[in-house]
Structure 1
């Protein structure tokens, strides 16, 4: 059992949060990365109230998402691993994803790598949960981003930086990746989870402990680039530049309160013009939120 990795995770969480953080938000999918984040925060800050955000981008069934998260939370509470007051909230942002991502995908794919659609998903996740958090007193939201997976477009350091600024400015919310550098290898999250005495079988049927999102199947990242000099890596540099351009364009749309008249395509590929206010779509998703677990 690898307790060294768990101790490293605890030390990293201590630097990311303090006793003054009475309410902490966590993007929680029930997968291995977000589980390692949840358990480590709960161990070090048992008095903090945790808001767990489960989100649906349209690529998974709502019941699948809620049941997966609820089963994990019930297990952790029963074993005494999470003693915090917890509130798990389900957000359905399929409509936002449709307008900001899917219905512009036909045009985006001619300019950017197809995998950047995942950046749209993360942009919405961060903005939606930040807007909600600002109404309930949560000032920090933790995610499960990983250094080992930093070549995934939505986990590049540049993506994290370009998204964090507008969210802090608009909502006063800090986006935190508490175990980013602790997740330095493929097995790091699972080693942390094993350090809590948990059987990896809790992720049985899930690929390496992570729920399958269909967006993740539309591109493949060569993990061997982890061994390369990033400054000289053609793949990394091209992806980084594309992410900055693509994400910047999405941020200009989602961060404004006014409506935008945009060309979008329906499911048959037919183009149409639509007046879209992403602020209103966020309000709609927040109003329809569902609290599905409390302790």
Structure 2
């Protein structure tokens, strides 16, 4: 079954992640064989609205794709999973951003922290469920987001690769224009306009972070996350919690 392994996809419900799901299900991704099961991992950061949109978009897409094949067995099994990474997100940025921003040239790295938490949660899920790879629908047309940049992707791949899980970004170069994503979705018979993503409160946050600050921040946080993952996998709950202590302990009372 090595030719048909399982894979995970970070699934927001937006057009890029939806297209990535459709391409993976159809077996039309270059250098990526058709999987036998796809885990669509939807992350909850605690700061989003319209919570039913992504799952509804997934169900519509799943039904459409099922009608394109003569037998259900021809389509990879698809599992929609919601994972909460809000506490990690807090520990990586929100609890301590007053201290963190001066260390990284005063830059706003909130979205980098959020995505770093998402990839860490996806890594833990993949290791627990023996999923060998995680694909993400980052695209070069959105490289104005600090997490959709080469430095972020390279460091994430190194981080998950340390634990034997491969991180890939299979549509990053191809989806360099909205028309390419739209054509791909319409060619698969899938919805090609918005309406599938939750609305995140940070989606329009200004940031002028460069590759330098992004890289420095990740270099500081990834060793802590590596320790966190090791402790979580070992079942050492107390030590894992201490990797990311709360910034304001008075708020716990």
TM bracket, shorter-chain basis: 0.7 to 0.9
Q: Shift of the alpha carbon at 1:263?
A: 7.4
Task: Provide the residue aligned with 1:155 in structure 2.
Answer: 148
Which residue number corresponds to residue 52 of structure 1?
40
Following TM superposition, by how much is the alpha carbon of 1:47 offset from its aligned partner in structure 2, in angstroms?
5.5
Alignment of 1:44-83 (within 5 A): 44=27, 48-61=36-49, 64-65=50-51, 67-81=52-66, 83=75
Within 5 Å, give how 1:130-279 maps onto structure 2: 130-169=123-162, 171-200=163-192, 203=194, 206=195, 210-219=197-206, 239-256=210-227, 257=231, 258=239, 260=242, 265-266=247-248
Structure 1 residues 96 and 220, CA gap change in structure 2 (3 angstroms)? closer
Against the structure 1 CA distance between its residues 172 and 197, is the aligned structure 2 distance closer, same or farther, given a 3 Å change threshold?
same
Q: Which residue of 2 aligns with 1:97?
A: 89
Establish whether residue 32 from structure 1 lines up as the match of residue 25 from structure 2.
no
Distance 1:111 1:59 in 2: 25
CA distance in 1, matches of 2:85, 2:146: 20
Equivalent pair of 1:116/1:154 in contact (CA under 8 Å): no
Aligned to 2:236: none
For normalisation by structure 2, the TM-score amounts to 0.79
The secondary structure found in structure 2 opposite 1:178 is coil
Q: Structure 2 CA distance, aligned partners of 1:90 and 1:198?
A: 22
- Aligned-residue offset at 1:78: 2.2
Corresponding residue of 2:76: 84
Shift of 1:166: 2.2
What is the CA-CA distance between 1:32 and the residue it aligns to? 0.6
Q: Show structure 1 runs of 5+ residues with no match.
A: 1-17, 222-237, 275-295
- Structural RMSD (CA): 2.7
Q: Distance in 1 between matches of 2:149 and 2:243?
A: 30
Unaligned runs of 5+ in 2: 28-32, 69-74, 232-238
Alignment CA distance shift 1:41-1:123 (3 Å): same
- TM-superposed CA distance for 1:114, in Å, is 4.2
Question: Displacement, 1:29?
Answer: 1.0
Residue 124 (structure 1) aligned with residue 117 (structure 2) = yes
Q: TM (normalized to structure 1)?
A: 0.69
Residues 148-157 or 81-90, more deviating: 81-90
CA distance in 2, matches of 1:214, 1:24: 29
